[in-house]
Amino acid sequence: MIIHHPILGPRDAQEFVYLGDASLINRPDGLTAGVEAFYDYLYNRGNPAGEHRELWYHEQGDRSWLVVTRNTVTHEIIKVELARDVAKAAGRTK
Amino acid sequence: MAEPLHALTALGQTIPYTKEIGPYRIIERFDVALASLATRKGRDGEVRAAAAKAGLPLPDPARAASGNPYSAFWVAPDMWMVEADFATHEDIAALLKPLFGEAASITEQTDAWVRFDITAGNLAPLLERLSNVDFPAVPDGYASRTVIEHIGCYLIRRDIGSVVLYGPRSSAKSLFHALEVTARSLL
């Protein structure tokens, strides 16, 4: 599988480490959002047959975190973004 | 008089090691000081201005650039590895810190890495067996992290017959072994 890194171009998926669902970026505040929201964040994951947004880490490359949108049925990669750009676009400051 | 203390090279010798295998020449380099330089958040402009003043190139992603007294290669977004002559810049981090002040984070890296320079007429047959970098296709000045025999390394292409490898110093002998065995297999 080839991942088209937004900075470095096509790179072998072997260089990456897979973390999981990209919703992990959106951690709720454990003190104000309530225990249910945090429980949901920590334990509940969708398992879609189709498009899935995932976190990949370019460990044997530039060490950047990526958000990869992938079709879990066809393995087609639809979109690759830097996770920090995704977080910034969602209003995160760090 | 007591014998002065001598630093050992990454391969455990008192002098750097050079090995010739057919057309391949593997040279351990012991004369380069290294430091990593990372831009702090929102301080990009200041870092670029200070670097330009100090004669320190900050190359684009996946590139290396030579300069005087400093050379550099890109390692990550907003981060570079800086190289300088060991004889004049042994304490490279302390020399760089005043240039950038609070705008960048600088970490000494000299003794974390082993450097091998490899030369031959054409390095493609050797490197296509060692790493997934498409060595003949990438341009001169290309720099990338890659994996050689399960060891994470930095690879810098000078030209088709010249490459610089930085590997973790603690795996220096394993990396050298991988280079030696692969070169031998090509004879």
Percent of chain B with pLDDT over 70: 99
Domain extent, residue B146, equals: 18-30+112-185
Residue B101 lies in a domain: yes
B113 CB neighbour count, 10 Å cutoff: 20
Q: Are residues B168 and B118 in the same domain?
A: yes
Residue B150 lies in a domain: yes
Q: Are residues B85 and B142 in the same domain?
A: no
User: Which residues in B lie closer than 8 A to residue A12 (C-beta atoms)?
Assistant: 132
Residue whose structure tokens are 């017959």: B161
How many domains, chain B?
Answer: 2
Contacts 24+ apart (CB under 8 A), B52-57: B53/B99, B54/B96, B54/B99, B56/B82, B56/B96, B56/B99
User: Residue B1 has what pLDDT?
Assistant: 62
Q: Which of the residue ranges A28-42, B41-55, B88-102, B144-158 would you say has the lowest mean pLDDT?
A: A28-42
Q: Mean pLDDT across the stretch B31-45? A: 96
Cβ-defined contact of B144 to A82 (cutoff 8 Å) = no
Pick from A7, A17, A59, A60 the residue to mutate for testing the B interface (most B CBs within 10 Å).
Answer: A60
Q: Mean pLDDT across the stretch B45-66? A: 96
CA distance A84 to A63: 12
Chain B segment 147-176 residues within 8 A of A by beta carbon are 147, 152
Given B110, B136, B160, the domain boundary residue is: B110
Q: Collapsing DSSP states into helix, strand and coil, what is residue A20?
A: strand
Residue B123 lies in a domain: yes
Name the pLDDT band for B6 (thresholds 50, 70, 90): confident
CA distance B83 to B110: 9
Residue whose structure tokens are 């973004």: A81
| Of A93 and B142, more confident | B142
Chain A segment 54-83 residues within 8 A of B by beta carbon are 59-64, 82
- Between the CA atoms of B46, B47, B52 and B58, what dihedral angle is there, to the nearest 10 degrees? -150
Q: Mean pLDDT across the stretch B86-107? A: 96
Mean pLDDT of each 10-residue bin along chain A, 94 residues long? 94 94 90 91 93 96 96 95 92 78
User: Residue B5 has what pLDDT?
Assistant: 84
Q: State the ipTM, two decimals.
A: 0.85
Q: Mean pLDDT across the stretch B81-95? A: 97
User: Which residues in A lie closer than 8 A to residue B62 (C-beta atoms)?
Assistant: 7-8
Mean pLDDT of chain B: 96
User: Residue B3 has what pLDDT?
Assistant: 75
Q: Mean pLDDT across the stretch B134-143? A: 97
CATH code, B36: 3.30.70.1520
Q: Are residues B168 and B141 in the same domain?
A: yes
Residue B8 lies in a domain: no
Q: Are residues B66 and B126 in the same domain?
A: no
For residue range B58-81, list pLDDT tens digits in order. Answer: 999 999 999 999 999 999 999 999
CA distance B3 to B187: 43
Chain B segment 98-137 residues within 8 A of A by beta carbon are 132
CATH code, B128: 3.30.1360.120
Q: Do B103 and B50 touch, CB atoms closer than 8 A?
A: yes
Does B107 score more than 70 pLDDT? yes
Q: Are residues B106 and B116 in the same domain?
A: no
User: Residue A42 has what pLDDT?
Assistant: 92
User: Which residues in A lie closer than 8 A to residue B152 (C-beta atoms)?
Assistant: 59-60
Cβ-defined contact of B62 to A8 (cutoff 8 Å) = yes
CA distance A24 to A42: 8
Pick the CATH number of A2-89 from 3.30.2270.10, 3.40.50.720, 3.30.300.30, 3.40.50.1370: 3.30.2270.10
The beta-carbon neighbor of A64 closest among B62, B77, B152 is B77
Residue B11 lies in a domain: no
Residue B50 lies in a domain: yes
Q: Are residues B118 and B165 in the same domain?
A: yes
Pick from B132, B150, B155 the residue to mutate for testing the A interface (most A CBs within 10 Å).
Answer: B132
Residue B143 lies in a domain: yes
Q: Are residues B105 and B117 in the same domain?
A: no
User: Residue A39 has what pLDDT?
Assistant: 93
B80 CB neighbour count, 10 Å cutoff: 28
Q: Which of the residue ranges A34-48, B25-39, B89-103, B162-176 would you say has the lowest mean pLDDT?
A: A34-48
User: Which residues in B lie closer than 8 A to residue A63 (C-beta atoms)?
Assistant: 75-76, 145
Residue B1 lies in a domain: no
Given B85, B110, B135, the domain boundary residue is: B110
Q: Are residues B22 and B38 in the same domain?
A: no
Percent of chain B with pLDDT over 90: 96
